[in-house]
Structure 1
């Protein structure tokens, strides 16, 4: 995979971890039990294949000229606040880098389809856990008060997730569409799907000029329909004109 060859490296985990076969985990009844064989195999397999993997996913943000001069003085959260409230006018394009680590955490949970366990994920303050299911799916767990643990899938496998990150990294060199996305997504439904980065909960469709990334929103609750959210990118003036034309013409029938 070209993205990993160019961007990834491997470092030993920062702390020792307890081997899965010695863990005590809570089953669906809340009872502590020895880690079952399927959890041991999948969790240790994850550590063997991905343990210590690190990489950064590039992105960009348009920074108003009124705050660009003091950009490096603030954290990401304050930067976002400044951008959202800054005046309109000339804007500068600044690169961003989101680091990812594939080290295991200590948590594991059971659901009706097996078990899922947590790993570190992206280097940002976040209200979710990155988790891997023993059936192969990769997703998240969003802890909510007075709600049971829920596995919310995002990718069919963790390799699909890495391929999706590779495309996100590529989009750092493209322009994000700022107009209405829903109409454009429907109007450009003939864009080719990128199967290695797509699945039931995340979809990438793109050609040389236009890319659409759709994903299911994380809700943290079971048995609720997760709405789709979309981002649209263009790589050229021709791509932007296609998106503008799609917005005017509307969905194709």
Structure 2
């Protein structure tokens, strides 16, 4: 059953996003079902599509095919907060690859914007990208987790997106009193939230190893801004201590 017909398993936040902005486009152009594809294995020899790939790829089409929704995103420029809309399209692509580890992965459309990455789904359920390096880079543990992350991004778009100087990930580490959001988090992304501060910690979408850790930080109201400013002061003091220890 398509996700717009059955939102079971999603949080109230994610359901609200899909109910407010979600729609399903008409039937896609005719395509060859996955079970009839012949896929190059790791040696380059064409083989019938494995059952795990058939189940995952056709399941993606059945559950998410044609899904469209919009995500509000905020950013700060010259001291002013701005909001943009990003639309996501859940349409299957034409390509399938064998991963360096066990399993296969396939492409789908993703965010409707000029992008240097190709969006992917692995047969183990993870969502990833390829930045041209030919490697599956995980960005979310599952498609529902990706939607939950988008719902959080949309929810905090009316907050103040902070643009601190220095290491945003180090600053995020100094913010306490936040609750983990497991349904939107995984190995390469972590959301933490309170009434006035939100943090998204993530690995960069780059095949350069090791993948760097970054963070987006939002605050709401004077109390939220004050908490982030205090955390920034602690992060700067910690950086100074480390520099002093190295220098001595």
Alignment of 1:133-144 (within 5 A): 133-144=122-133
> Counterpart of 1:124?
113
1:172 to 157, 176, 182: 157
> Counterpart of 1:52?
66
Q: Deviations over 1:9-29 (max 9, x none)?
A: 111254322210111222111
Q: Deviations over 1:15-60 (max 9, x none)?
A: 3222101112221112222211111111000100000100011123
Q: Deviations over 1:108-138 (max 9, x none)?
A: 0012220001110001111211111111111
> Counterpart of 1:22?
36
Q: Measure, in 2, the Cα distance between the counterparts of 1:165 and 1:139.
A: 15
Q: Is the 8 A contact 1:61 1:95 kept in 2?
A: yes
Report the CA distance shift for 1:252/1:13 in structure 2 as closer, same or farther (over 3 A): farther
Give secondary structure in 1 for the equivalent of 2:180: coil
User: 5+ unaligned residues in a row in structure 2: which ranges?
Assistant: 1-14, 239-248
User: 5+ unaligned residues in a row in structure 1: which ranges?
Assistant: 64-89
Q: Deviations over 1:90-109 (max 9, x none)?
A: 76544311110001001000
> Counterpart of 2:244?
none
Normalised by the length of structure 1, the TM-score is 0.81
Q: Is the 8 A contact 2:74 2:161 kept in 1?
A: no
> Counterpart of 1:151?
136
Q: Deviations over 1:141-163 (max 9, x none)?
A: 2223xxxx211111111100000
Is 1:209 paired with 2:196? yes
Q: CA RMSD in A?
A: 2.1
Normalised by the length of structure 2, the TM-score is 0.83
Report the CA distance shift for 1:13/1:252 in structure 2 as closer, same or farther (over 3 A): farther
Q: Is the 8 A contact 1:218 1:226 kept in 2?
A: yes
> Counterpart of 1:226?
211
Q: Measure, in 2, the Cα distance between the counterparts of 1:123 and 1:94.
A: 19
